[in-house]
Structure 1
Amino acid sequence: MTLQKIKTASLQQFAKKGYDAASLQLIADEVGIKKQSIYAHFKSKDDLFLDIFKDAVDQEILELDRYFQDQSEQSLEIVLRGLIVEFKERYESAMNLRLILYVGFLIPSALESQVQALVTRYVKHKTSLVHGRLATETSVKLRVPAQTAATAYMNLIEGMLVELVYNGTDGFDPRLESSWDIYWHGLIQA
């Protein structure tokens, strides 16, 4: 029970403040334990952070799998555009997603290789799902190979995720509308 409380409080701290600003003392205070009690479960702040970050990546991979499964009968445009919109809708409340996005841009230098490996795993999984959907699409004709379409889509979605991290949701919709229109019309043969 205490371990889960520590992990929940840590996720909130790391997702909202980043690695450097997150405090083990604040985590302990939120859980209602002494800071030293955290060390009964984790060797260090780094150990705690990596555990939380790995869990976040695992959960977000499951979210991606769920999304693509739930949307399997939808049109290509609804699936691809909808994924970007879902990121926006989940950004404020899904701490796992927020942590990945925040830390993906501001990787703690001492943990760079471990964090980068987890971020790469997450991005490769997302890319694979997008590519798989594009490669099996039969209702529209693509102008470019599926791999090229997936790469362009990943550039679009990553740009929109940067928008979330740096500017929040306020300017998201107009940027998505203009970017989506260009992507979609460049992708589909008339």
Structure 2
Amino acid sequence: MTRNRIKEVAYKQLAEKGYDQATLSSIAKEVGIKTPSIYAFFKNKEDLFMAVYKDLLEEYYLHIKRSIANFKNGSAKEKLYQIVKELCNYYLSQPEKTAAYTKLAFYLPPTLNDKVKNIFNEMEEMLFEVLETIFSEGIEQGIIKDQPVDDLIASFNCLMDGLFLELLFYTEAKFRRRAEQVWNIYWNGIYKEH
């Protein structure tokens, strides 16, 4: 329980203050423990924030996988669109987590870059199998152009990464409009016309 509370306070402080200003002492104070108690759960500040980063990504990817499960009988287009829609909904409905994720992804000390990349790649693998199935089925059904599945997955991941960045710059209404526009262009690019 204390471990989870520490991580919860850490991501909230990260969202508000950024990595440098979210100190172990300020986290401990808000949790209601002494700073050395944090070391019973985490080696250091880096270890704590890498655990927070992993949790944020894992929660997002599990959310996506659950939402796709509701569309198991849907077409490839419906499943891919559901992922895009859920990306938008998830990040818009979780502003504190989105801010924390952003700060972990873009504003960390360079010494943590490799750790962040490793965690990101590990978490992205969770979605790889889902996307591989969707694209393979779409190709077999003649809905998606016959292209290497790895290429299709890479392009879809770039679409999602781009949408995430758009989220940082636009109002919700403009972001949703742009997400629809980009989705339509993307789908038209991979759709196999009959």
Given the two structures, how large is their TM-score scaled by the length of structure 1?
Answer: 0.82
AA aligned opposite 1:155:
C
Give me the CA root mean square deviation. Answer: 2.6
5+ unaligned residues in a row in structure 2: which ranges?
Answer: none
In 1: Cα distance, 2:3 partner to 2:150 partner: 42
Q: Given the alignment, which residue of 145, 158, 168 partners 1:143? A: 145
Stretch of structure 1 that moved more, 13-22 or 23-32:
13-22
- Distance in 2 (alpha carbons) for counterparts of 1:121 and 1:129: 14
**Aligned equivalents of 2:130, 2:95: Cα separation in 1:** 20
Q: Kindly provide the CA deviation profile for residues 144-190 of structure 1, in whole angstroms up to 9, marking residues without a partner as x.
A: 41333322222211110111234463421121122111111121122
CA contact (8 A) 2:19 2:103 kept: no
1:1-190 correspondence to structure 2 within 5 Å: 1-91=1-91, 92-93=93-94, 99-137=100-138, 138-145=140-147, 146-167=149-170, 169-190=172-193
Which range moved further: 45-54 or 135-144? 135-144
Bigger shift: residues 138-147 or 95-104: 95-104
Does structure 1 conserve the Cα–Cα contact (< 8 Å) formed by 2:68 and 2:82? Answer: no
Deviations 1:98-133 (A, max 9, x none): 544442233432222111100112234334422321
Count of equivalent residues = 190
CA contact (8 A) 2:166 2:175 kept: yes
What stretches of structure 1 of length at least 5 have no aligned partner? Answer: none
Contact map agreement 2:145 2:192 (CA 8 A) in 1: yes
Identity rate, percent: 28
SS of match in other structure, 1:80: helix
| Cα deviation, residue 58, structure 1 | 3.4
Query: How far did residue 97 of structure 1 move?
Result: 5.8
Distance, in Å, in 2 between the alignment partners of 1:99 and 1:129 is 26
